[in-house]
């Protein structure tokens, strides 16, 4: 928190799944009954500290009943939420309980109802490049895989408890931008819509090419073999479906949140890629949050290191949970790099998170 505040970071997406037990806060993702009182106390303590540091929070679960986070599930995908509507009811009760417990906490900027939902994977759709989202959604409408109906179910429950707290709804297939095409806005001025941007994944993921690709430059999409030229113009046009959706539903730009975006820091051209995305987001007037700031176990998108390997002690400290105590020595030598300058130059100069509509 101290480091984030020192970097002029004023808004974060906060997840809590690593803080303790396997199903932190829920007690059980297999059968939700009530919040864990000790876990809730711990969460409120963290929110109090963030409020003291003047950092606003978008609270973002990665696990819901019937959808345990893969990293807490022996690396297996848990898709029960998208197959059995009884888990919808449990997720609604969870959010009602949490909304009641945190109502009007001053650190809360919004609730993001579920990080990167992907009901598509349970119904045979694993890529957005095929361009057939309307047809696919038509086949799952009304089933437990209907993300729009799921969101309406949760929103109705939360609004019984808190009529004004901003809510964020992410698009499907891990919040991919093109999945927004089939989202159905909820008639509520305090709801925002969110996408994540790591495309083309073949480029932004270092392990996919080990430095063999760069931005700008060409690549081949794995899922369909299509060749594309990544240029600033192509990157701008990638968001055309998002712009079209917002125009179709008469949504102003401040109702869209880029909840995550990033690029493997060692990927050639990563600084130019990030700079181009920020230029697009700022021009459009969309909220944005970059991923990530000082990850606890992974340095692939820890931009303060630049394109260089982290200090040799990094992995030992990560294993021991001792990174924060050594932040000064870990980050002192790398902060003045092209990647961090792209982000640092924008922090502290952005508009504040919008007030709730009254």
Three-state SS across 271-328?
A: HHHHHHHHHHHHHHCCEECCCCCCCCCCCCCCHHHCCCCCCCCHHHHHHHCCCHHHHH
pLDDT above 70 covers what percent of the chain?
97
Q: Which of 304, 184, 291 is nearest to 248 (CA)?
A: 184
235 has a pLDDT exceeding 90 = yes
pLDDT above 90 covers what percent of the chain?
88
Q: What is the mean pLDDT of residues 76-82?
A: 98
**pLDDT of the residue at 353:** 60
Tell which wins on pLDDT, 350 or 222: 222
Q: Which of 268, 162, 153, 254 is nearest to 208 (CA)?
A: 268
* 3-class secondary structure, 87: helix
Dig out the tokens for 205 from the structure. Answer: 């993921």
Q: What totals of helices (H) and strands (E) does the chain contain, helices first?
A: 14, 9
**pLDDT of the residue at 329:** 87
Contact predicate 155/183, CB 8 Å = no
351 has a pLDDT exceeding 90 = no
pLDDT bracket for residue 357 (50, 70, 90): very low
**pLDDT of the residue at 352:** 56
356 has a pLDDT exceeding 80 = no
**pLDDT of the residue at 15:** 96
**pLDDT of the residue at 20:** 86
Q: What is the mean pLDDT of residues 261-270?
A: 98
pLDDT bracket for residue 354 (50, 70, 90): low
Tell which wins on pLDDT, 204 or 297: 204
Q: Which of 165, 183, 152 is nearest to 107 (CA)?
A: 165
**pLDDT of the residue at 108:** 98
Model confidence, pTM: 0.96
Distance in angstroms (rounded) separating the CA atoms of residues 234 and 231: 5
pLDDT in tens, 3-48: 999 999 999 999 999 998 899 999 999 999 999 999 999 999 999 9
126 has a pLDDT exceeding 90 = yes
CA within 13 Å, CB half, 221:
14
355 has a pLDDT exceeding 80 = no
Q: Which of 130, 131, 156, 153 is nearest to 142 (CA)?
A: 153
Distance in angstroms (rounded) separating the CA atoms of residues 50 and 62: 20
Q: What is the mean pLDDT of residues 54-77?
A: 97
pLDDT in tens, 288-338: 999 999 988 899 999 999 998 888 899 999 999 899 999 988 988 767 899
Q: Which residue has the tokens 């927004």?
A: 180
**pLDDT of the residue at 333:** 73
Distance in angstroms (rounded) separating the CA atoms of residues 325 and 317: 9
Phi, psi of 230 (to 5 degrees): -75, 110
Q: What is the mean pLDDT of residues 239-244?
A: 98
Q: Which of 329, 213, 323 is nearest to 266 (CA)?
A: 213
Q: What is the mean pLDDT of residues 156-168?
A: 98
| Average pLDDT of the residues of the chain | 94
Q: Which of 232, 235, 121, 110 is nearest to 177 (CA)?
A: 235
* 3-class secondary structure, 22: coil
Of 207-211, 219-223, 282-286, which range is least confident?
219-223
pLDDT bracket for residue 358 (50, 70, 90): very low
350 has a pLDDT exceeding 90 = no
């Amino acid at each position: 928190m101290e480091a984030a505040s020192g970097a002029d970071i004023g808004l974060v997406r906060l997840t809590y799944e690593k803080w303790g037990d396997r199903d932190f806060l829920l007690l059980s993702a297999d059968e939700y009954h009530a919040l864990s009182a000790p876990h809730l106390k711990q969460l409120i303590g963290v929110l109090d500290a963030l409020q003291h540091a003047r950092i606003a929070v978008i609270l973002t679960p990665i696990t819901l009943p019937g959808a345990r986070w893969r990293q807490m599930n022996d690396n297996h995908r848990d898709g029960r939420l998208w197959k059995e509507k009884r888990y919808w009811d449990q997720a609604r009760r969870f959010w009602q309980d949490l909304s009641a417990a945190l109502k009007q906490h001053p650190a809360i900027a919004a609730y993001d109802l579920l990080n990167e939902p992907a009901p598509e994977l349970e119904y045979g759709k694993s890529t957005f490049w095929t361009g057939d989202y309307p047809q696919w959604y038509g086949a799952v409408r009304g089933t437990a895989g209907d993300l729009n109906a799921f969101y309406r179910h949760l929103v109705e429950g939360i609004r019984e408890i808190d009529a004004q707290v901003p809510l964020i709804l992410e698009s499907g297939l891990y919040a991919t931008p093109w999945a927004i095409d089939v989202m159905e806005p909820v008639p509520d001025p305090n709801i925002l819509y969110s996408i994540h941007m790591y495309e083309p994944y073949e480029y932004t993921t270092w392990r996919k090419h080990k430095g063999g690709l760069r931005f700008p430059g060409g690549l081949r999409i794995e899922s369909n073999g299509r060749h594309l030229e990544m240029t600033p113009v192509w990157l701008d046009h990638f968001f055309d479906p998002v712009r079209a959706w917002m125009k179709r539903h008469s949504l102003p730009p401040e109702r869209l949140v880029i909840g995550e975006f990033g690029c493997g820091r060692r990927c050639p051209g990563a600084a130019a890629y990030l700079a181009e995305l920020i230029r697009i987001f700022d021009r459009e007037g969309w909220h944005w949050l970059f991923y990530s700031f000082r990850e606890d176990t992974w340095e692939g998108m820890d931009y303060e290191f630049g394109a260089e390997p982290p200090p040799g002690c990094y992995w030992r400290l990560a294993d021991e949970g001792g990174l924060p105590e050594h932040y000064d020595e870990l980050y002192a030598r790398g902060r003045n790099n092209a990647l961090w300058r792209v982000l640092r130059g924008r922090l502290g100069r952005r508009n504040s998170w919008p007030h709730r509509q009254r």
